[in-house]
Amino acid sequence: MIYNIYKGVYCMESNNSIVSGFDSDKDDSLKITLHKIPGVENGCMVVLEGYIDTYNSSFFQKQLTKVIGAGYFNLLFNCGGLSYISSTGLGSFTILLKMVKVKGGDIILSEVQENVAEVFQILGFSQFFNLKDTTEEALEYLRHDEGSAPGPVFPKMLVCPSCGRNIQAAHAGRFRCTNCKAIITISEAGAITLG
Protein backbone atom coordinates (compact mmCIF):
# COMPACT_ATOMS: atom_id res chain seq x y z
CA MET A 1 0.00 0.00 0.00
CA ILE A 2 1.32 3.47 -0.93
CA TYR A 3 0.30 6.49 1.10
CA ASN A 4 1.56 10.06 1.22
CA ILE A 5 3.45 10.80 4.44
CA TYR A 6 4.77 14.25 3.55
CA LYS A 7 4.65 16.12 0.28
CA GLY A 8 6.81 14.15 -2.11
CA VAL A 9 7.68 11.29 0.26
CA TYR A 10 5.86 8.01 -0.11
CA CYS A 11 6.09 4.91 2.01
CA MET A 12 5.43 1.46 0.64
CA GLU A 13 7.87 -0.36 2.84
CA SER A 14 8.33 -1.08 6.51
CA ASN A 15 11.36 0.04 8.50
CA ASN A 16 12.78 -3.50 8.21
CA SER A 17 12.49 -3.51 4.41
CA ILE A 18 14.37 -0.19 4.23
CA VAL A 19 17.04 -1.24 6.77
CA SER A 20 17.25 -4.94 7.50
CA GLY A 21 16.62 -5.74 11.17
CA PHE A 22 15.85 -2.12 12.07
CA ASP A 23 12.81 -2.92 14.21
CA SER A 24 14.52 -5.74 16.12
CA ASP A 25 15.41 -3.18 18.83
CA LYS A 26 12.75 -0.96 20.39
CA ASP A 27 12.59 1.77 23.01
CA ASP A 28 9.23 2.93 24.38
CA SER A 29 10.47 6.51 24.81
CA LEU A 30 11.46 7.04 21.15
CA LYS A 31 9.66 5.87 18.02
CA ILE A 32 11.70 6.03 14.79
CA THR A 33 10.00 5.66 11.41
CA LEU A 34 11.95 5.52 8.13
CA HIS A 35 10.89 6.70 4.66
CA LYS A 36 12.97 6.65 1.48
CA ILE A 37 13.14 10.06 -0.23
CA PRO A 38 12.52 9.83 -3.98
CA GLY A 39 14.78 12.10 -6.01
CA VAL A 40 17.51 12.27 -3.33
CA GLU A 41 20.38 9.86 -3.77
CA ASN A 42 20.95 7.88 -0.55
CA GLY A 43 18.12 9.89 1.03
CA CYS A 44 16.08 8.78 4.02
CA MET A 45 13.60 10.71 6.13
CA VAL A 46 13.68 9.78 9.81
CA VAL A 47 10.53 10.69 11.73
CA LEU A 48 11.17 11.01 15.47
CA GLU A 49 8.40 10.77 18.09
CA GLY A 50 9.17 10.98 21.80
CA TYR A 51 12.37 12.26 23.36
CA ILE A 52 16.14 11.67 23.32
CA ASP A 53 17.88 11.78 26.68
CA THR A 54 20.86 10.24 28.48
CA TYR A 55 19.09 6.89 28.82
CA ASN A 56 17.97 6.31 25.24
CA SER A 57 20.60 8.25 23.25
CA SER A 58 22.67 5.09 22.72
CA PHE A 59 19.56 3.37 21.27
CA PHE A 60 19.01 6.36 18.96
CA GLN A 61 22.65 6.38 17.84
CA LYS A 62 22.70 2.60 17.30
CA GLN A 63 19.53 2.71 15.18
CA LEU A 64 20.80 5.57 13.02
CA THR A 65 24.17 3.87 12.61
CA LYS A 66 22.20 0.99 11.04
CA VAL A 67 20.57 3.48 8.63
CA ILE A 68 23.94 4.97 7.62
CA GLY A 69 25.42 1.46 7.32
CA ALA A 70 22.60 0.55 4.91
CA GLY A 71 23.78 3.34 2.57
CA TYR A 72 21.55 6.24 3.59
CA PHE A 73 23.66 9.27 4.39
CA ASN A 74 21.48 12.16 3.24
CA LEU A 75 19.23 12.20 6.29
CA LEU A 76 16.20 14.40 6.90
CA PHE A 77 15.05 14.26 10.52
CA ASN A 78 11.41 15.29 10.98
CA CYS A 79 11.47 16.48 14.60
CA GLY A 80 7.84 17.61 14.85
CA GLY A 81 7.16 14.80 17.33
CA LEU A 82 10.42 15.19 19.26
CA SER A 83 9.43 16.81 22.55
CA TYR A 84 12.83 16.93 24.30
CA ILE A 85 16.54 16.43 23.66
CA SER A 86 19.36 16.37 26.21
CA SER A 87 22.99 17.34 25.67
CA THR A 88 23.77 13.62 25.35
CA GLY A 89 21.22 13.41 22.53
CA LEU A 90 22.89 16.35 20.80
CA GLY A 91 26.18 14.48 21.13
CA SER A 92 24.61 11.54 19.27
CA PHE A 93 23.47 13.87 16.48
CA THR A 94 27.01 15.26 16.24
CA ILE A 95 28.51 11.77 15.91
CA LEU A 96 25.97 10.94 13.19
CA LEU A 97 26.76 14.20 11.36
CA LYS A 98 30.45 13.30 11.30
CA MET A 99 29.58 9.83 9.95
CA VAL A 100 27.51 11.17 7.04
CA LYS A 101 29.89 14.04 6.20
CA VAL A 102 32.71 11.54 5.62
CA LYS A 103 30.47 9.87 3.02
CA GLY A 104 29.57 13.20 1.37
CA GLY A 105 26.12 13.32 2.99
CA ASP A 106 24.28 15.75 5.22
CA ILE A 107 21.76 15.94 8.04
CA ILE A 108 18.80 18.31 7.80
CA LEU A 109 16.35 18.81 10.69
CA SER A 110 12.81 20.02 10.05
CA GLU A 111 9.84 21.06 12.18
CA VAL A 112 12.03 21.34 15.29
CA GLN A 113 9.92 22.33 18.30
CA GLU A 114 10.92 25.58 20.00
CA ASN A 115 12.16 23.96 23.24
CA VAL A 116 14.32 21.50 21.26
CA ALA A 117 15.69 24.29 19.03
CA GLU A 118 16.62 26.26 22.16
CA VAL A 119 18.80 23.38 23.37
CA PHE A 120 20.61 23.37 20.00
CA GLN A 121 21.04 27.16 20.26
CA ILE A 122 22.11 27.36 23.92
CA LEU A 123 24.72 24.62 23.55
CA GLY A 124 26.07 26.14 20.32
CA PHE A 125 25.04 23.22 18.08
CA SER A 126 22.78 25.26 15.78
CA GLN A 127 25.86 26.39 13.83
CA PHE A 128 26.61 22.78 12.85
CA PHE A 129 23.13 21.65 11.81
CA ASN A 130 20.86 22.80 9.03
CA LEU A 131 17.40 23.46 10.55
CA LYS A 132 14.41 24.07 8.27
CA ASP A 133 10.95 25.24 9.36
CA THR A 134 9.00 22.70 7.31
CA THR A 135 9.61 19.23 5.91
CA GLU A 136 8.73 20.52 2.44
CA GLU A 137 11.47 23.17 2.74
CA ALA A 138 13.96 20.50 3.84
CA LEU A 139 12.98 18.21 0.95
CA GLU A 140 13.37 21.07 -1.52
CA TYR A 141 16.80 21.85 -0.06
CA LEU A 142 17.93 18.22 -0.39
CA ARG A 143 16.57 17.86 -3.92
CA HIS A 144 18.09 21.19 -5.02
CA ASP A 145 21.41 20.22 -3.47
CA GLU A 146 21.43 17.03 -5.57
CA GLY A 147 21.43 18.97 -8.83
CA SER A 148 23.73 21.82 -7.93
CA ALA A 149 26.91 21.98 -9.96
CA PRO A 150 29.14 24.35 -7.98
CA GLY A 151 30.40 23.33 -4.58
CA PRO A 152 28.30 24.36 -1.59
CA VAL A 153 29.26 27.37 0.54
CA PHE A 154 28.37 25.47 3.73
CA PRO A 155 29.58 23.85 5.87
CA LYS A 156 32.33 26.44 6.15
CA MET A 157 35.12 27.03 8.64
CA LEU A 158 35.25 30.68 9.72
CA VAL A 159 37.13 32.77 12.27
CA CYS A 160 35.30 34.74 14.95
CA PRO A 161 36.06 38.44 14.28
CA SER A 162 35.98 39.12 18.03
CA CYS A 163 38.22 36.44 19.55
CA GLY A 164 39.80 34.66 16.56
CA ARG A 165 38.37 31.22 17.43
CA ASN A 166 37.61 28.84 14.55
CA ILE A 167 33.88 28.35 13.98
CA GLN A 168 32.26 25.76 11.75
CA ALA A 169 28.96 26.94 10.28
CA ALA A 170 26.48 24.54 8.67
CA HIS A 171 24.34 27.33 7.24
CA ALA A 172 23.79 31.07 7.13
CA GLY A 173 22.26 32.82 10.14
CA ARG A 174 22.99 34.42 13.51
CA PHE A 175 25.08 32.52 16.04
CA ARG A 176 26.80 33.05 19.36
CA CYS A 177 30.53 32.30 19.49
CA THR A 178 31.06 29.45 21.96
CA ASN A 179 34.29 31.08 23.16
CA CYS A 180 33.64 34.83 23.60
CA LYS A 181 29.80 34.77 23.34
CA ALA A 182 29.82 37.46 20.63
CA ILE A 183 26.81 37.48 18.27
CA ILE A 184 27.95 36.66 14.74
CA THR A 185 25.99 36.93 11.48
CA ILE A 186 26.96 34.69 8.57
CA SER A 187 25.59 35.58 5.12
CA GLU A 188 24.47 33.10 2.45
CA ALA A 189 27.78 33.78 0.69
CA GLY A 190 29.71 32.86 3.87
CA ALA A 191 30.72 36.40 4.91
CA ILE A 192 30.94 36.89 8.67
CA THR A 193 30.17 40.06 10.67
CA LEU A 194 29.61 40.93 14.30
CA GLY A 195 26.02 41.55 15.41
pLDDT digits (tens, 9 = 90+) for 163-178: 777 777 777 788 788 8
In whole angstroms, give the CA distance from residue 90 to residue 72: 20
pLDDT digits (tens, 9 = 90+) for 108-160: 999 999 999 888 888 877 778 889 999 999 998 888 755 443 445 666 767 77
- For the domain spanning 3-151, the CATH number is 3.30.750.24
In this prediction the pTM is: 0.71
Domain residue spans in the chain?
3-151, 153-195
| Residue 85 contacts residue 112 (beta carbons within 8 Å) | no
| Residue 158 contacts residue 186 (beta carbons within 8 Å) | yes
